[in-house]
Amino acid sequence: MSNLNTTASAAPSPSAGGRGEGEQPRQYLTFVVSGELFALGILVIKEIIEYAQLTSVPMTPDFVRGVMNLRGAVVPVLDLAVRFGRPANAVSKRTCIVIAEIAAGDERLTVGFVVDAVNAVVDIGPAQIEPPPAFGINVRTDFIEGMARINDRFVILLDANRIVALEDMLTLAGEGAATHAAPESIAS
């Protein structure tokens, strides 16, 4: 679906202050979700596939769009738009599933991320990456690895391991189950 060998360079950030000098740039896959540009480190990405029919799984959080069969393996597929608190986008000809391998404790978990469109692979040096912005106590930015500027546009660099946040998925699944369960009786 996408050629992962295509590269583009990000413009250096004037406010980077020389951080990471001497370190090699890392490659990131850029993609669009709800009109915004995001990127994942290429090392976690296994492949990019066309969007295909998914099997929905009852009692899962809204951002879990379903599961798919990937060469005999059951792979959960997350909708990044919904995971980021936005409405789900309609599937189009450019909608893809980015298959990534993430850390899940001592194991590796293969997961798919629904994205609106895949753009390109870009090289971004450590000096070009700014830390995530601080918005305040109630705004979560722990899934953001950093911010990079490419062609006068910010790209949000995602931490794939934190997008999934297995603890959050379990908590959300538990809350969903609790809302459908009968209330416990309180013994006096």
**Helical H segments across 9-121, by residue range:** 80-83
How many domains, the chain? 1
* CATH number of the domain where residue 170 is located: 2.40.50.180
Q: Decide if 186 is inside a domain.
A: no
Q: Is residue 36 part of a domain?
A: yes
pLDDT in single tens digits along all 188 residues of the chain: 444 444 444 444 333 344 445 678 899 999 999 999 999 999 999 999 999 889 999 988 889 999 999 999 999 999 999 988 899 999 999 999 999 998 877 788 899 999 999 999 999 988 888 887 776 555 556 788 899 988 788 899 999 888 876 554 444 334 444 433 433 433 43
The model's pTM: 0.74
**For residue 64, what are the domain limits?**
26-174
Residue 101 is assigned to a structural domain of this protein: yes
CA trace torsion 8, 11, 13, 17 (10° rounding): 80
